[in-house]
Chain A
Amino acid sequence: MVEVIDIIILSLMAATVIAMVVIRNLMAVVALGGIYSLLAASIFVTLDAVDVAFTEAAVGAGISTVLFIATLALTTRIEKKPAHKPILPLFVVIVTGAVLIYGSLDMARFGDPNAAAITHVAPYYLENTKKDTGIPNVVTAVLASYRGYDTLGEVTVIFTAGIGVILLLGSWRRGLTPPSPHREDDA
């Protein structure tokens, strides 16, 4: 049953992406991007990745879409018509896709419990989380305790991105015009 739901949602995502390639109105493209992220979040739920679905829905369908719309408000809304026929990109994409499909023929089948990816390190975490940390959510335990160093690096990356945006666009308090009594507030 999971496979059937998966295939339906993935087909919806394929339709969304094809629409994104063709449509030139950037507002519609950004909205389709938000829809794509939400469909990806529902795929994550059917694949038992609830933490990842939570994050993808909040971050991809929420913050990312808001930032794109804010940028659209500061720049243009329509994409220019492409000047020449994209033969070379199409060729590159088809060759890359063919190589990836050839590589996927060697992989373990979807859902196989004896795949190497599942029998190597994961059973250690699943067995020892209760004993070492005592919290039921294995993903949080691995993220914050077993692999806490990687999470420190990730927080530093977010910190750097915040610093980068402040450096590029400047302080937002100086950019605010003082409110006058008759002007309408807008964001």
Chain B
Amino acid sequence: MKEYLVLRVITKLLLPFILLFGLYVQFHGDFGPGGGFQAGVIFAAAFILYSMVFGVHAAQAILPEGILRAGIAGGVLLYASVGVLDLMLGANYLDYSPMAAHAKEGQHLGIFLVELGVGITVASVMMTVFFTFAAWRED
């Protein structure tokens, strides 16, 4: 892709906006359309675009395989841990009410953490799957 100057420049210009939009969708899922899944996919799409233009090596320099694998498991772990935390605070599993002073604040915090876990797992899985396909060789 060394000859495609326009592609490289535009990708480098667009990437911060895509990542920022992904973060916006993640954290404003309460007030408009959005949430964990959409944000994870948008986040992964930014890195997939980067990898398509600059090569899988460049993407691996930013996000080594270990970090992505930790992300795949970490999101599910975060989600399940929120439930266990609620159990330890005396309520049912995944009942967010006792996590803060008022029940509504507890619900806000619980939904925030849970959507974060979902977003991390979805982004890591999409990126891992694409990099695995892109770097696969027949031997």
A and B touch in the complex (CB under 8 A): yes
What DSSP secondary structure best describes chain B's contact surface?
Answer: helix
What DSSP secondary structure best describes chain A's contact surface?
Answer: helix
Inter-chain contacts of A132 with B (CB < 8 A): 103-104, 107
Contact status B57-A166, CB under 8 Å? no
Interface string of A47-91 (1 = CB under 8 A from B): 000110111001100110011001100100000000000000000
B interface with A by C-beta (< 8 Å): 1-2, 25, 29-35, 37-38, 41-42, 44-45, 48, 51-58, 60, 64-65, 69, 72-73, 75-76, 79-80, 83, 93-94, 96, 103-104, 107-108, 110-111, 114-115, 117-118, 121-122, 124-126, 128-138
**With A133-B104, A162-B129 in contact, is A145–B96 under 8 Å at CB?**
yes
**Bound state CA distance, A17 and B29, in angstroms?**
33
Contact status B76-A159, CB under 8 Å? yes
A-B contact pairs, 24 of them (CB 8 A): A50-B33, A51-B34, A53-B33, A58-B38, A62-B45, A135-B30, A135-B107, A135-B111, A141-B111, A144-B114, A149-B93, A151-B114, A152-B79, A162-B124, A162-B128, A172-B131, A172-B134, A173-B60, A184-B1, A185-B1, A185-B2, A185-B55, A187-B52, A187-B56
Within 8 A of B (CB), among A128-187: 132-137, 139-141, 143-145, 148-149, 151-152, 155-156, 158-159, 161-163, 165-166, 169-173, 175-177, 179, 184-187
